Amino acid sequence: MQLFFQEALNGLVLGSIYALVALGLALVYGTMQIPNFAHGHLYMLGAYAAFFAITVLHAPYWPAMLFAVIVLAGIGLVLERVVFRQLRGAPDVNAVIAAIGVLFTLESIARLIWGSDFRVLPTPYDHPVNLFGLEASQQQLIVVLATAVLVAALYWFLKRTLTGATIEAVSQSRIGASLVGIDANRVNMLVFAISAGLAAAAATLIASINLIFPEMGFVVLLKAFAIIVLGGMGSIPGAIAGAFILSFAESFSAAYISASYQDVVAFAILVVILTVKPTGLFARAG
């Protein structure tokens, strides 16, 4: 039972990061119908931005996270304005190719500046904690708590503010939103900024536990797309549910089967669920 609860805690930590990354991806797809294949590398760049703030600017941990979020939100604004807005109305494959181009550009920039060495983000929360007999680090608990706060803040923003209502309006009908005076282009820029900011926050939280390197975006991108497909493309509740389904599947399969097969088991569960419900768990009505 102790092993079970230990792996449940590990799955909760991993699912928290998956949820933040997948939420940003789901927001962009739900609003703009764009599969942003560069999203994983925005996550990677967020980790490097926090690393730069701590090691070069000597910023404390939380200001470093805020710095990374602001920088990546700005990059998200620029990408939407310069790259993706120009492709509206073009065939879908054009946006996919552009996103892949952005992906490799960001990776090349990161490798040019920081090289290919593995790095770890310094954190003041590296002390072990005994939580009801379970072994954890302070950073793992910070990951879970910070994710809960960010998800709650995002939900409040989308459901309780006028700006959030405009985002939901554009996601439901871009034409209808334009007819009632909503500037869909400004909404798209805001959504890209939020998406990139969430990726930066996720990367800062986990970069003290996992390594930072230029290719780190590929794995998280694959997992994030699997999550939003599992939850239903563009669905916010689906992104959260899918994140924890995938993370718990990985965690328990690594403990009870083999770490070598954790991805196989996780994606096998994905296939089974999609076979039963092909549109995803929380797909919105067409």
**With 80 as the cut, is the pLDDT of residue 59 above it?**
yes
Residues 140-195: tens digit of each pLDDT: 999 999 999 999 999 999 999 999 999 988 888 888 888 888 888 899 999 999 99
**With 80 as the cut, is the pLDDT of residue 113 above it?**
yes
Reported confidence tier of residue 30, pLDDT bands at 50, 70, 90? confident
Question: Is the separation of the CB atoms in 243 and 90 below 8 Å?
Answer: no
Which candidate, 64, 68, 44, 67, places its Cα nearest to that of 54? 64
Sequence-ordered list of residues with C-beta below 8 angstroms from that of 220, at least 6 positions apart, any chain: 17, 18, 21, 40, 43
pLDDT value of position 146: 95
Return the CA Rg of the chain. 19
Residues 183-219: tens digit of each pLDDT: 888 999 999 999 999 999 999 999 989 889 999 998 8
Quote the Cα angle for 91-242-166, to 5°: 55
Residues 210-268: tens digit of each pLDDT: 889 999 998 888 888 888 888 887 788 888 998 999 999 888 888 888 777 777 877 78
Q: pTM, whole model, 2 decimals? A: 0.91
Q: Sign of the C-alpha dihedral, residues 188, 155, 59, 47?
A: negative
SS3 284: coil
